[in-house]
Amino acid sequence: AEVEETLKRIQTHKGVVATMVINAEGVPVRTTLDNSSTVQNASLLRPLTEKARSAVRDLDPENDLTFLRIKSKKNEIMIAPGKISIKTTAE
């Protein structure tokens, strides 16, 4: 589908290391990273996204989280939340 293509494009984009798609329960649906890393990432990042969204909505209930970016020394993690979330790790 079109979405598949978009994901593929993201993956092949310059600088992108890995892409993961995680469903609402925190189970990875699709990933380009090895299993253990994926599970670890998923289990750590999911509660963080929930917390971030809770913070945003608490301040103003009509607001909602659209994007979350964590920039670290070595790389950058980008999270697009939704009913299913996508996370990309980029160098």
Partner 1 sequence: ELKEEFTRILTANNPHAPQNIVRYSFKKGAYKPVGYVDQMAVHFSMNGNMIPKDSDEGRRQSIRSGSSAGRHNDFQIEKASVESSAVTSEEAEIKDEESTGDTKAAEEKETEEPGTTEAAETAEVEEPPPPKVKEQKLANQFNFIERASRTLNNPMRERACQSEPTPCKDFSDTVYQWKIYDAYMEELKEMEKSKEKEKPKAQVSKRQEEKKEKKKKKGRKLTSLEIQVSDDMNKISRAAKLMERMVNQNTFDDIAQDFKYFEDVSDEYRNQQGTLLPLWKFKYGKTKRLAVTAISWNPKYKDLFAAGYGSYDFMKQGEGMLVLYTMKNPSFPEYVFSSESGVMCLDFHNDHPNLMAVGFYDGTVAVYNLKKATSQPSYKSGAKTGKHTEPVWQVKWQKDDMDNNLNFFSVSSDGRIVSWTLVKNELVHTDVIKLSAKGTTMQGPEGLQLQTFGCGTSFDFHKKIDWLFLVGTEEGKIYKCSKCYSSQFLDVFEAHQMAVDSVSWNPYHLKVFISCSSDWTVKIWDHTIKTPMFVYDLKCAVGDVAWSPYSSTVFAAVTIDCKAHVFDLNINKYESLCNQLVVVRKKNKATHIQFNPVYPVVIVGDEHGHVTSLKLSPNLRKMPK
Q: Are 81 and 53 in contact (CB under 8 A)?
A: yes
| Residues 49-88 contacting partner 1, CB under 8 A | 54, 57-58, 61-62, 66-67, 69, 76, 78, 80-86, 88
Q: Are 19 and 87 in contact (CB under 8 A)?
A: yes
Q: Are 21 and 85 in contact (CB under 8 A)?
A: yes
| Residues 5-44 contacting partner 1, CB under 8 A | 6-7, 9-10, 13-16, 21, 23, 29
What number of other Cβ atoms are within 10 A of residue 45's Cβ? 19
Residues near partner 1 (CB under 8 A) are: 1-4, 6-7, 9-10, 13-16, 21, 23, 29, 54, 57-58, 61-62, 66-67, 69, 76, 78, 80-86, 88, 90
